[in-house]
Structure 1
Amino acid sequence: MSNPPARLAWSGFVTELAELLRARGVDTPLYLVGGVVRDAWLRKPTDDIDIVVGGRAIPLARRVCDWLGADIYVMDRERGVARVFVKQAGRALSLDFADQRGSSLAEDLRDRDFTMNAMAADLLGDCGALVDPLAGEQDLRAKVLRRCSPNSIAADPIRGLRAVRFSAQFDLKIEPATAADIRGCTKELRATSPERIRDEFFKLLGLGRAARGLRVLEHLGLLRMILPDIPPANLPHSLAVVERLATLLTAISRRRTDNTAAAFDLGMLVIQLDRFRPRLQAHLDRRYGNWRNHAQLLALAALLEAGNQAALVAESLRLSAGEARILSQAVSNELVDLPMPATRLEQHRYWQRLGAGGIDVILLGAAKALAAQGVALDQQDWLRRVEQITQLLDAWFNQYDTLVNPKLLLSGHDVKTLLDIQSGPQIGVALTALREAQALGKVTTQEQARAFLAQLSAIGSAPPPAPSRSIREGS
């Protein structure tokens, strides 16, 4: 016996939007479509609302923009697509208005990617009734991802990557014909713009189940196309690191639940990291082009084994120069080089060398340690590592101005005058030594700083100069 069609439950904003449109006398056919309908069926919140217009979408979008006091961006004038940006109760919503494709709503829906995204609801009519010509609801109930037509993947090969992301995100099995079409379009996907591949791949990396999606990509022959420089023998370990990193990032995120860190390994770490959680989250939420975030970049780093891989991947995915440097630094440095626990001088030099990137090395190092030990976790070794991580993060977040990067008591000009030397690397050497002495609490006044440099000059030795960049920003 088949289940009756579900009634859709809508947020207050969608209901208010429908009332506004009716009150303003809009009688053009309007349909909610795609992900917003799928998420309503799944009872999940969404900030992206797609509306198909049985008429001219852009003029209507402009009117809605005016009524809501919002902003608008015309995305595709030829196809009639415009996005309205709305702020509602602290949330940033986007309303995409698009001309109906084809001669009917059914034809528009058949032209979409997957059946679960080919469902609709009449915005100005019975909004709770599901319009479902391709049985997307049935596939959702069966946990199956199915393409809308035999031409769906070939029409846009990037849908193959999207299929993998959806399968991981919604715990779906890709049905055989769809999987075969994805495998058959590998060559066409390779010809797709690197930017589109990058954006879809990063969406996958941002999932809590990214490792599962990456395994599906490998099974379908797509992962090697995106990351050809990863040796096949290294892939199982790399995927294990991605998995452990995702669990760790969830445990220190807003998505954490009481069960997230129930195991000994994560439980001990989360207890210690909880005091840094808001600041760690701010670090991971840093944004780059096209809304890529730092956590996604860190997941990519977890897949890689060497700095030369990072450079090649950054180039192939068209990452920015800043992202490329962060990726290379995260991959090329290891926390195990630091003693456990570290002295104040070792902590100072660690953060001077890596800057904010030291946080990435810490998180990746923890994920690698957990992946390498698996169920045979050495509890004493792990407790020492947790102590080291806590010590380092406390230095960065709570002792930045005193231990990590104290403000120099003397300038480069002061050093030149005091030591009677010309501009050159010696000044940097002297300033580095002074900063270290300040970090250790040996020098606290300008008078002590002058005496320290005079003594240093007499001895004729000092540590190498520190990098000149702002360590708050990392590489």
Structure 2
Amino acid sequence: MEEDKLITLLSRDDIRLLAQLATDCRVEVYLVGGGVRDLLLDRPSQDLDFALDGECAELPRRFAVAAGGTFFWLDEVRRHGRVVLGRGEGRMSYDFVLLQGGTIEQDLLLRDFTINALALLVVPAGDGIIDLQSGMADLQRGIIRTCSPRTFADDPVRLVRAFRFAATLGFTLADSTRDEIPHNAHLLEQVAAERVRDELFRILDVPASLPFIRQLAATGLLPRIVGTGYTGAIAPSFDRMGALEQLLAELERHFPADHGQLAGYLEYQVEDGITVHSLLKMSAFTGSVGSEKVAALAVKLRLGNRSRRVLQQLCRPQLPVGLLLPPELQTSRAMYRLFRDESPAGLALVLLALAGGVVTREAARRFVGYYCREYDAEGDDLYLTGAAIMTLLGTGPGPHVGAAAARLREAESRGMINSRGEAEEFLRKNQLTKPAPLG
């Protein structure tokens, strides 16, 4: 079985092209790490790593030109380059770097976990997989094990990456590896926050991520990642995450007509590597903490503006009024206002409210059904246009027209206005006399 997988890999057009170019350059090429691991696990891999034995700086560039791809240096000093072929779901990435340590054996000893300390000689074709640390046995057993006592000290982000591999592969940490983590947790402070964030959000994107978030907390890593302000009331955080994950695992049962569109929405990347799904999980963990604490968390995790905004929408102390309207006021107009004002977090707010028992499943289905089949983000705006507002008020353009429109928008989002006539009556009462509080 293993031999068949190797033959299939070596017969691929891209690998054959690379082999031909490497032979011309007189360079030995090893496929290393995750590419070998995923090959053995029958997992599709769009990112292949190659270690080169022999100096040929032009090999990656020649491969890019011959394959019709793009080449760029990740680290020109260390001769670490990347070739990208295709786009979207068909995109393939090939990383090339010189052997670390001088030989493939020394290179593998420097790697993070035994399941990644595997190599296959591509050029010239070798006899099989090079496995110095029983990585193949750990693959079969589903174990994440460090390669050496210095694994975490050499790159502390591996502390979190161990759980990421466990989560994405469905593996467990070896007892010896888990025992090492609390003693090395302080090293995480040395790592760029962006690298830690990327590992965390890849864990959150796993459907059943709660067990691994629990393990991050138990080993002392979680407070260092998100700050101590979010880990004091840890049990409620776990309960919220658990309820949300259970709901997300049963989308088809809860939303039989719209679960496909919901799944697509959850996969939407708010920014590179951060999906609506992972931000929704994060909000369930943090709970309703308000914009200031979310802003502090966003700084700690180096979130971009779009992710920060979505997280603030999901973590505010009170849900949008439009989501809490009684059934008779859940009109198309009110739902339109909700989704327009809360974009892109509207559907996530519905799911969060349902998981928390704040809205009924019937109400959630009504909101989701409207969004999936009727909502048009570019649709009609207010019941009254700016010109209509000026006519009603008997004035020309000015700031007061914008203020009137803002009050109308808030009233419509609360379900207080559901027709043009009601909008006109609202303005007569609230703008033609004196401002009155909405409520």
Cα distance in structure 1, aligned partners of 2:143 and 2:427: 73
1:338 counterpart = 2:335 = no
Cα distance in structure 1, aligned partners of 2:55 and 2:391: 73
Selected match of 2:18 from 16, 21, 28 = 21
Could you give the per-residue CA deviations for residues 185-217 of structure 1, whole angstroms, max 9, x where no partner exists?
Answer: 222211221111111111111112311111111
Residues paired across the two proteins, number: 424
Matched residue SS, 2:96 = strand
Offset at residue 143 of structure 1 (A): 2.5
| Counterpart AA for 2:85 | V
1:271-286 paired onto structure 2 within 5 Å:
271-274=256-259, 277-278=260-261, 280-286=262-268
Offset at residue 296 of structure 1 (A): 1.5
* Equivalent position of 1:103 in the other structure: 102
Q: Does the 8 A contact of 2:142 with 2:170 survive in 1?
A: yes
Q: Does the 8 A contact of 1:348 with 1:436 survive in 2?
A: no
| Counterpart AA for 1:123 | V
What is the CA RMSD across the aligned residues, in angstroms?
3.4
Cα distance in structure 2, aligned partners of 1:20 and 1:328: 49
Q: Does the 8 A contact of 1:58 with 1:98 survive in 2?
A: no
Cα distance in structure 2, aligned partners of 1:196 and 1:106: 27
Name the CA shift for 1:328/1:283 in 2 (closer, same or farther; >3 Å). same
Q: Does the 8 A contact of 1:158 with 1:197 survive in 2?
A: yes
* Equivalent position of 2:134 in the other structure: 135
Cα distance in structure 2, aligned partners of 1:431 and 1:218: 44
1:327 counterpart = 2:311 = yes
Moved more, 11-20 or 73-82: 11-20
* Equivalent position of 2:351 in the other structure: 363
Q: Does the 8 A contact of 2:166 with 2:173 survive in 1?
A: yes
Name the CA shift for 1:347/1:23 in 2 (closer, same or farther; >3 Å). closer
Matched residue SS, 2:112 = coil
Cα distance in structure 2, aligned partners of 1:406 and 1:185: 57
Selected match of 1:9 from 5, 10, 13 = 5
Q: Does the 8 A contact of 2:314 with 2:345 survive in 1?
A: yes
Offset at residue 322 of structure 1 (A): 2.3
Moved more, 173-182 or 149-158: 173-182
* Equivalent position of 2:375 in the other structure: 400
| Counterpart AA for 2:390 | K
Cα distance in structure 1, aligned partners of 2:162 and 2:209: 13
Offset at residue 99 of structure 1 (A): 0.8
Q: Does the 8 A contact of 1:54 with 1:99 survive in 2?
A: yes
Offset at residue 459 of structure 1 (A): 4.1
Matched residue SS, 2:269 = coil
* Equivalent position of 1:36 in the other structure: 35
Gaps of 5+ in 1: 253-260, 262-266, 370-380, 467-475
Q: Does the 8 A contact of 1:401 with 1:407 survive in 2?
A: no
Cα distance in structure 2, aligned partners of 1:84 and 1:63: 10
* Equivalent position of 2:293 in the other structure: 309
Cα distance in structure 1, aligned partners of 2:417 and 2:380: 10
1:143-154 paired onto structure 2 within 5 Å:
143-154=142-153
Name the CA shift for 1:427/1:221 in 2 (closer, same or farther; >3 Å). closer
* Equivalent position of 1:293 in the other structure: 275
Name the CA shift for 1:290/1:427 in 2 (closer, same or farther; >3 Å). closer
Name the CA shift for 1:410/1:365 in 2 (closer, same or farther; >3 Å). closer
Moved more, 150-159 or 307-316: 307-316
Q: Does the 8 A contact of 1:85 with 1:94 survive in 2?
A: yes
Name the CA shift for 1:292/1:357 in 2 (closer, same or farther; >3 Å). closer
Cα distance in structure 2, aligned partners of 1:456 and 1:232: 46
Gaps of 5+ in 2: none
**TM value normalised by structure 1:** 0.79
1:161 counterpart = 2:160 = yes
Cα distance in structure 2, aligned partners of 1:127 and 1:245: 48
Offset at residue 405 of structure 1 (A): 5.4
Cα distance in structure 2, aligned partners of 1:393 and 1:41: 41
1:196 counterpart = 2:195 = yes
Cα distance in structure 1, aligned partners of 2:219 and 2:426: 63
Could you give the per-residue CA deviations for residues 285-344 of structure 1, whole angstroms, max 9, x where no partner exists?
Answer: 332444322222221111112124322211111112222121011011437961453521
Matched residue SS, 1:392 = helix
Name the CA shift for 1:231/1:70 in 2 (closer, same or farther; >3 Å). closer
| Counterpart AA for 1:95 | Y
1:429 counterpart = 2:404 = yes
Identity %: 25
Q: Does the 8 A contact of 1:119 with 1:132 survive in 2?
A: yes
* Equivalent position of 2:390 in the other structure: 416
Name the CA shift for 1:57/1:178 in 2 (closer, same or farther; >3 Å). farther
**TM value normalised by structure 2:** 0.84
